[in-house]
Amino acid sequence: MLMTVFLNLVPVTLVQSLVYAFVALAIMIPFRTLSLPDLTVEGSFPLGGCIAATLLVGMGVNPWVGTVLAVAAGVCAGILTALIHLHLKVPSLLAGILVATMIWSIDLRAMGAPNTAVPHDVSLYDAISADILLNVWMQIALFATVVVAVCVGLLAFYRSEPGLSLRCVGANARLSPALGISSRFYVMLGFGLANGLAALGGALLVQHQGYADVTMGFGVLVNGLAALIIGEAIVGRATIARQLSAPVVGSLIYYQLVSLGLSTGLHPSDLKFLTGGFVLVTLALPLLTGRRRPELGI
């Protein structure tokens, strides 16, 4: 009975995990590439969804254009966090909290209400094919294609000169100016890129589930961090390809674990507590076993 329920949930959970893989990727970039903690993701994820809902429903904007503008809003949120950190000398952790808090008001102002329905006939999926939202396997194929395309694009970027400069800033920010690399510019680039990915995930989720809500970002940071930790434990992060694949692999496994927990009768309200406990145990385990704990930049 347990396995039957779990297997029935697998396709739906795969869709969910592929969407939230963008959040895990967004968390990885500032933590791993720039060695800076950033909590803006908790705000940029719902920002992308709320902006997409406002543009598609309230203004009748083309879903392709609306999704791109939603991503642009996330990029702006990330750049704002970077500017506060760099120019006002506010720690990036606190800067991200401040921006995520301000985004809450922006979401409410944009939608004019705590939530907004997004009819499927105005969504990006309907523009691609009206059958997508009726077939879960088509959704899996679509999201998997987008995630792979994003990872391939990031891999190409990281191997390019700007990508190498971004990695250099994260590895040694003090050495970067001596090499002619503007650390400020690349911190803004990294934060903007990360939060643009989070906003993309929010925009795709809103159009998929049919509504946007200002609270949809609650807890995504911890979930994404748990997915990142799981992925790195399995895939590792010795190479750029592994660093990029770890968040995706971790997201796929994490949400299957959540699905398994729900299949056992676990109450949904307990998931946040268990997720937080899981992250704490995972971070503490290396200390208990005498190994080096993975640095999160916090």
What's at 294, amino acid-wise? P
pLDDT at 233 over 90: no
pLDDT confidence of residue 274: 74
pLDDT at 84 over 70: yes
pLDDT confidence of residue 285: 64
pLDDT at 144 over 50: yes
Lowest mean pLDDT among 45-54, 103-112, 137-146, 259-268: 259-268
CA distances from 267 to 254, 256, 262 (A): 17, 16, 7
Answer yes or no: are the C-beta atoms of 47 and 106 closer than 8 Å: yes
pLDDT at 298 over 50: no
Burial class of residue 138 in the structure, from the number of CB atoms within 10 Å of its CB (0-12 exposed, 13-18 middle, 19+ buried) = middle
Summarize pLDDT for 19-45 with one digit per residue, the tens.
999 999 999 999 999 989 899 999 999
Sign of dihedral through CA atoms 68, 72, 145, 119?
negative
* 2 or 244: which leads in pLDDT: 244
pLDDT confidence of residue 97: 94
pLDDT tier at 297, thresholds 50, 70, 90: very low
Residues 41 and 284: their CA atoms lie apart, in Å, by 24
Summarize pLDDT for 182-226 with one digit per residue, the tens.
999 999 999 999 999 999 999 999 999 999 999 998 889 888 988
pLDDT confidence of residue 172: 85
Answer yes or no: are the C-beta atoms of 253 and 230 closer than 8 Å: yes
Please name which of 146, 128, 117 lies closest in space to residue 56, comparing C-alpha atoms. Answer: 117
Summarize pLDDT for 166-194 with one digit per residue, the tens.
999 988 878 888 888 899 999 999 999 99
Q: With pLDDT > 70 as the criterion, what percentage of the chain qualifies?
A: 94
Summarize pLDDT for 249-296 with one digit per residue, the tens.
999 998 888 888 777 777 777 777 877 777 777 667 666 665 555 555
Residues 53 and 154: their CA atoms lie apart, in Å, by 27
Global pTM value = 0.90
Answer yes or no: are the C-beta atoms of 72 and 193 closer than 8 Å: no
